[in-house]
Amino acid sequence: MKKDSFPKLSTEIPGPKAKRFVEEDKKFISQSYTRAYPLVVEKARGLIVTDIDGNQYIDFSSGLGACSTGHCHPEIIKAINKQSKKLIHMSGTDYYYLPQLKLAKKLNEILPGKNNKRVFFGNSGTEGVEAALKLARYYTKRQMAIAFFGAFHGRTMGSLSLTASKSIQRKNFSPLVPGVVHVPYAHCYRCPHNLSYTDCGTACVQWIEDELFHHNVPPEEVSAIFVEPILGEGGYVVPPPEFHRKLYKLAKKYGILFVVDEVQSGVGRTGKFLAIEHFKIIPDITILAKGIASGLPLSATIASEKIMNWLPGSHASTFGGNPIACEAAVATIKLLEKNLMKNAGQIGDYMLSKLGEMKENHRLIGDVRGKGLMIGVELVKDKVTKERAIKERSQLLTACFKKGLIILGCGENSVRFFPPLIVTKKQAAKALEIFEDVLTEVERR
């Protein structure tokens, strides 16, 4: 093995220290988390993650999407260090400070639409969604909301009410926030209306107007439609181009706000700052989190000053928009604008085309889809019946980990590739090589 080649594994995986660690974790840490395999991280830099036994892996999960500029990018460390010497916390709820304003101005400039937007800062994706849900009700004075089957919007009570990804996420937590209705997403590989993509006429949007609004939900009571531009946890599903356009038109027809949850798809990951820009739509409310501050906790809920016009005291957060997180976000956006957004588009195209070729040669790959560095591979037992390969997906994730590649699943039977935006072509090729070796091994079992 070349000196600088990765991954570098020197113990059996997991190593002895990792095994002991996991046993102790069981005693002291909530076991509601969803660890797919026992990776115990000690440190990380760029795309390389080192575990407590000294093994080095390539990270194609970006710390669940948050480390957009890679782990510990020098420019991010610089921004954090500089700000931490000046001001760590004061609370934007009660006082003013420059990093929040600096970031809000930058977001105004980089997001599509007029330069008249206001930003509410929180600490996590779910907080960003809660803020959007409250704002939509507040502004429209309407109680209901529409969200999609397969969508994931978070786990606090409001965002969980919008989530319809896996029922385990909602089990035993009802009653949730009332007024949320779920409708099918434009999942063309598994069309909810059993139509073929070319002649469906975007039946899933038409269904909302013809069936839902006609029989069940008065549209004038709907505050907002919450939608992920590309379904994330639900399986990395890219809808056809006309889906969002028609949905947006429907929303406008009935005075409903169009809210995009860009927590996973945003911040340059798809090659544009927002994934919804691929669909040429200017949303009413946009939610950002995960990659916005390169791993520091931060969310931004953004709307025009007309919509975000709530009274002092109506919504706030002690820690949201922390000065260090805001400075990390400003540095993150600078890196994205310099070259990382472009890199995401280019390496994403390369990976999509390689995975497309792989699909032809592997019986387990049913579908390959994505934009930029948000790529999903759906595994099926049979390409005709499309029976989900759930067990095989789990074997694949574990076997990749054992070979030094960190990837995660999405949906019940898909694998997602969402590496940091600094990923090189060489690293992408290496990840695909490991993935294909493991896939071949799983197919043989």
Ligand X SMILES: Cc1ncc(COP(=O)(O)O)c(C=O)c1O
Sheet bearing 408-410, strands edge to edge: 365-371, 374-379, 414-417, 408-410
Torsion of CA 195, 201, 204, 208, to 10 degrees: -140
Kindly tell me the sign of the dihedral angle through the C-alpha atoms of 117, 123, 125, 129.
negative
DSSP state of 410: E
The residue within the footprint of ligand X, chosen from 53, 59, 130, 261 (CB under 6 A), is 261
- Find the shortest distance in angstroms from Cβ 154 to ligand X: 4
- Bridge-based pairing of strands 180-183 and 144-148 is parallel
- 160 within 8 A of 294, measured Cβ to Cβ: no
CB-based closest residue to ligand X: 125
Q: Minimal distance in Å, beta carbon 74 to ligand X?
A: 25
CB closer to ligand X, 46 vs 125: 125
Tell me the closest approach of the beta carbon of residue 302 to ligand X, in angstroms. Answer: 15
Stretch that binds ligand X, among 34-42, 76-84, 241-249, 260-268 (CB under 6 A): 260-268
How many angstroms separate the CA atoms of 39 and 61, rounded?
A: 12
Q: CA gyration radius for the chain?
A: 22
Tallying the residues shown for the chain, one arrives at 445
- Which amino acid is it at 411? G
Part of the chain binding ligand X (CB under 6 A), chosen from 124-132, 269-277, 313-321, 330-338: 124-132
Among 124, 140, 202, 343, the residue binding ligand X under the rule CB under 6 A is 124
Q: Tell whether residue 126 is a contact of ligand X (CB under 6 A).
A: yes
Under the criterion CB under 6 A, does residue 289 sit at the interface with ligand X?
yes
Examine residue 229 and tell whether it contacts ligand X (CB under 6 A). Answer: no
Among 57, 152, 213, 226, binds ligand X (CB under 6 A): 152
Residue for token pair 């660890």? 35
CB atoms within 10 A of CB 416: 22
Instruction: Using alpha carbons, select from 299, 274, 282 the residue that is nearest to residue 374.
Output: 274
Q: Using the Cα atoms of residue 195, residue 200, residue 205 and residue 211 in order, give the sign of their dihedral.
A: negative
Tell me how far, at minimum, the Cβ of 6 lies from ligand X, in Å. Answer: 26
**CB of 428 vs ligand X, minimal distance in Å:** 22
When binding is defined by CB under 6 A, the residue of 48, 129, 188, 275 that contacts ligand X is: 129
Would you count residue 185 as binding ligand X (CB under 6 A)? no
Cβ proximity to ligand X, 412 vs 436, nearer residue: 412
Shortest spacing between CB 58 and ligand X, in angstroms: 21
| Residue whose CB is less far from ligand X, 147 or 364 | 147
Q: In the set 53, 59, 228, 367, which binds ligand X (CB under 6 A)? A: 228
* 164/391 Cα distance (integer angstroms): 22
Interaction site with ligand X (CB under 6 A) = 124-126, 129, 152-154, 228, 232-233, 261, 263-264, 289
